[in-house]
Structure 1
Amino acid sequence: MDESGGDSGSVATPVQQRAHEAWRIYQHYLDKTTPHANYRWIGTLVVALIYCLRVYYIQGFYIIAYGLGIYLLNLLIGFLSPLVDPEAGGVSDGPSLPTRGSDEFKPFIRRLPEFKFWYSMTKAFCIAFLMTFFSVFDVPVFWPILLCYWIVLFVLTMRRQIAHMIKYKYIPFSFGKQKYGGRSSSGSRAD
């Protein structure tokens, strides 16, 4: 018989305990940033600017920048796409987009929520920044071709995404609470 029993998996080494504690602290601060979307995005823009300045000043790592651009484009498509694609015709348990005028209003639910979009984007910039410190990733390429190819890819992908939005009549953005033109405040009360 095995003497170790079922307890061997629950005993953690001190290194594992410290790593778990560090992860809990990291997750705590990450959770605290959730309601502060503007500050999160400003921080991401600062990280992106630092990365761009590094690539510009060292005049290299263009293949990393291209890979980062493709990854960010993939994230953007997930952010702009509905959770349930009406084109697939699949039935889901959750809400879906209305496909006919008589359908009731259903809120737009993203395939990639804003927080995960921000978090993935920030991690991608940080990883790309760290990769610029290792010369093995500095593959010599003619960067204008990569830039042109990425722009063509971006335009074609966005054209397809916008056509999808128009076809199924959804807008992936909301700009605050909707205001209705109800009763006016003047004339309703006699002062």
Structure 2
Amino acid sequence: MNAPLPAAPAPGDSGPPPNPLAPLQRRIQVLLDKSTPHVVYRWIGLAALLLLYGVRVYFLQGFYIVTYALAIYILNLLLGFLSPQVNPELEGPTLPSKADEEFRPFVRRLPEFKFWWSSAKAVMLGFGATFFPMFDVPVFWPILVFYWFILFFVTMKRQIMHMIKYRYVPFSFGKKSYSGKNSGGKAAAKSNK
């Protein structure tokens, strides 16, 4: 037996309604794509946005819970940025531990661009929250600052100990870089002729 064919759409029904935000989403995506190679400028922009947020919170003398939540979220993103994609404790070491082992590059759990974009969105969301008085919960802010610094130092100590134990460095500055064409390769190519 043949399965029945789906009913044809009504003459006025052309499927789901068009998304009115689609042109704006495309423009934002184009700007994000163009900003990808400009790492330094993106981070300077984020620092300026954070400074603007800090000035707003300072002059309002409030929104400490929003600021605390923002700081915890960015700390969580930083941990993902510093962590390898594959956890060596669970799946075995992926980085070479001896000179004769195969080299495997460090791959982050959270890529740099996603770290930047998630941080920027969070700061913009926090900035927007400062316009709504319902988010201004009265708290004793020195306790939050103290607790955040304790959390930061404990978390970073654990992360640094993990980096030392499994011998990986999540940054590329200071590492050797090799050019594709060197004099040794030319000499080897000539000797093969």
TM range (shorter): 0.7 to 0.9
CA spacing shift, 1:26–1:65, aligned 2, 3 Å: same
Give 1:4-153 correspondences, 5 Å limit: 5=9, 11-13=15-17, 16=19, 18-89=20-91, 96-153=94-151
Q: What is the CA-CA distance between 1:106 and the residue it aligns to?
A: 1.2
Shift of 1:103: 2.0
Aligned residue type for 1:108? F
Measure, in 2, the Cα distance between the counterparts of 1:27 and 1:157: 34
Whether the aligned pair in 2 keeps the contact of 1:98 and 1:105 (CA below 8 Å) is: yes
TM-score where L is the length of structure 1: 0.83
With over 3 angstroms needed to count, the CA separation of the structure-2 counterparts of 1:106 and 1:60, relative to structure 1, is: same
- When normalised by structure 2's length, the TM-score is 0.82
Q: Which residue of 2 aligns with 1:165?
A: 163
Residues of 1 paired with 2:38 and 2:14: CA distance? 36
Q: Structure 1 residues 61 and 98 mapped into 2: Cα distance closer, same or farther (>3 Å)?
A: same
Distance 1:80 1:54, change over 3 A: same
Percent of aligned pairs sharing the same letter? 55
Aligned residues: 176
Name which one, 1 or 2, has greater alpha-carbon Rg.
Answer: 2
Using the TM superposition, give the Cα deviation of residue 21 of structure 1 relative to its aligned residue in structure 2, in angstroms.
1.7
Q: What is the rounded CA distance, in whole Å, between the counterparts of 1:81 and 1:141 in structure 2?
A: 33
Partner deviation per Cα, 1:35-72 (whole Å, 9 max, x = no partner): 00011001000000000000011100000010011101
Structure 1 unaligned residues grouped into runs of 5+:
184-191
Q: Which runs of 5+ in 2 are unaligned?
A: 184-193
Inter-CA distance 10–71: structure 2 relative to 1 (3 Å threshold): farther
**Aligned-partner Cα distance in 1 for 2:106–2:12:** 47
**Residues 20 and 144 (structure 1 numbering): CA distance in 2 closer, same or farther, change over 3 Å?**
same
